[in-house]
Structure 1
Amino acid sequence: MFQDERLISILQFLEKNQRISVEEICEHFDVSRDTARRDIVKLEEQGKIIRTRGAALLPSLSKETPNYEERMLSEMPLKRMIGKQAASLIMDGDYLFADNSTTVRQAMEYLSSKNNVVVTNAIDTAGLLTQKENIRIHLLGGLMHNDQRFIYGAQATQMMEKYHVDKTFIGSCGISFDGLTTPFEEESSLINEAMRRADQVIVLADHSKFEKRRFFKLAGFEQIHTIVTDREPEPTIMEKILEHGVELIIARGEF
């Protein structure tokens, strides 16, 4: 096996086990200790692992931040499935907040209820909703994040303070045992206000978001009511979900 192939396999092992020792690399790939150490050094140079004494760990902090178009392409079948399940939670006449999550956008795509009002800071979601009948759209104003295509800032947050909605739909870039995290600190004040202004806070996240920690903490489990995802999360997170009485909805089927 070439080194590049072995490095991919080591990362796959780490995704499941979080830690791999030099001895385990030697055993799994039938290589010498020197080769195993070179593999660890190479992965460290690439910024993909943290090297400890005789072992490698996955970093707990996820730092990659794809732009909006890249996020739209990632895990799209799962996002559609989760989005359709989430849309089924919306009743005729519901007032909603929808954030800039691409999974939340899918929920708005599948929206089939009538006479809804949607407050949003997501310009693409607002544009999508203009194609539906009997929807009143409130697009928050403020600063534009060009790369991620959302509105944020003090003006947007102050506008959100004047609303109250039945349901707030938010995505999450990371869900760890201590709650929801995001790389977008700029948007966090607005999202927290949208959560405070809702009777029900619904988080949409595919399984790849679990056990990921981002730079900025957005909310704890005590602030949310429902999580819609595609599979049950890891035991450490499941324990927190149960502890705080959060409803877990597993989306099923192919869409």
Structure 2
Amino acid sequence: MLIEQRLEKIKAIIEEERSATMAYLAEKLKVSKDTIRRDLIKLEHQNILRRTHGGAVSIDREATIFNYQQRSKKHNQIKEQIAYKTAEWIKNNCSIIFDSSTTVEAVIRKLHNKTIYAITNSLTHAILLAQFEKTEVTVLPGALHKEQLFLYGSETVKKIEHYHTDYTILGVFAISADGLFIHTEAEGLVKRQMIEQGDTVIAVADHTKLNTTGLFKVCDLNAIDVLITDHVPQQEFLTCLQNNNVNIITLD
């Protein structure tokens, strides 16, 4: 098979399946992984795909960045259902670190009857939590993101280190076999420390976040304990989650 034909076949596979591993492509095209690796480099230079550890994803499968208002309006019904499912996991009389995502905001609204000690870097979440009679709230320090109203930076990360909580609940910007990703390092470092401090780490994400990637890696899959989403992931990714001891909870 000529290289041009092989590249066209790889492009077609990525376009149809949105992502693929090098092992899968090598088997499909009957060539070595080294050959596939060189082909993926060529296609990445053509802006056809983005290489990941062990494979590639199509460009349009990279997670899209929205501002807070846009994100809060997307997939509202799904967020509500995920929020109900997440709230079922939370025991009464517990401590929780909440990140600044809009799906986490939906979860918070379902916890108003529980006694919790809440820690968050989101001013929006803090105002909501302050309305709950049984909730004590700590707002983390740091630099303020003026559009999305969350706090970040070295001061934020350092303060999180002082806490040891029952749960960390975080929204997922992008998740794949390579781990959890986000579009900025500053927010990613905050999320990474939040994960370190929670006994049980619960990640919440609708299906559009699955098998996507981002600029900054937050953690490996084995750093989270539970993934709550609306649809069962594709088999390859599902197996990867299971191999990393992630408990997958779906609405299906």
Give the whole-Å Cα distance in 2 for the aligned partners of 1:225 and 1:80: 21
Identity of counterpart residues, as a percentage? 28
Where in structure 2 are the equivalents of 1:209-220 lying within 5 Å? 209-220=209-220
Deviation at 1:234, TM superposition (A): 1.4
Where in structure 2 are the equivalents of 1:44-83 lying within 5 Å? 50=48, 58-59=58-59, 62=62, 64-83=64-83
Give the whole-Å Cα distance in 1 for the aligned partners of 2:85 and 2:238: 20
Structure (1 or 2) with the larger CA radius of gyration: 1
Deviation at 1:16, TM superposition (A): 5.1
Deviation at 1:63, TM superposition (A): 6.2
Q: 1:112–1:251: structure 2 CA closer, same or farther, 3 Å change rule?
A: farther
Q: Deviations over 1:65-115 (max 9, x none)?
A: 111001001111111110111111111111000001111110001114432
Where in structure 2 are the equivalents of 1:169-188 lying within 5 Å? 169-188=169-188
**Structure 1 gaps, min length 5:** 1-12, 20-48, 52-56
The answer as to whether partners of 2:63 and 2:209 remain within 8 angstroms in 1 is no
Letter in 2 for 1:50: I
Q: What is the aligned partner in structure 2 of residue 92 from structure 1?
A: 92
The answer as to whether partners of 1:210 and 1:234 remain within 8 angstroms in 2 is no
Q: What is the aligned partner in structure 1 of residue 39 from structure 2?
A: none
Q: What is the aligned partner in structure 2 of residue 235 from structure 1?
A: 235
Q: Does 2:139 correspond to 1:135?
A: no
Over 6 Å off, 4+ runs: none
Letter in 2 for 1:209: K
The answer as to whether partners of 2:205 and 2:229 remain within 8 angstroms in 1 is yes
Letter in 2 for 1:190: V
The answer as to whether partners of 2:181 and 2:188 remain within 8 angstroms in 1 is no
Deviation at 1:64, TM superposition (A): 3.4
Q: How many residues align?
A: 206
Give the whole-Å Cα distance in 1 for the aligned partners of 2:187 and 2:18: 30
Q: 1:60–1:70: structure 2 CA closer, same or farther, 3 Å change rule?
A: closer
The answer as to whether partners of 1:61 and 1:215 remain within 8 angstroms in 2 is no
The answer as to whether partners of 1:120 and 1:138 remain within 8 angstroms in 2 is yes
Q: What is the aligned partner in structure 2 of residue 34 from structure 1?
A: none
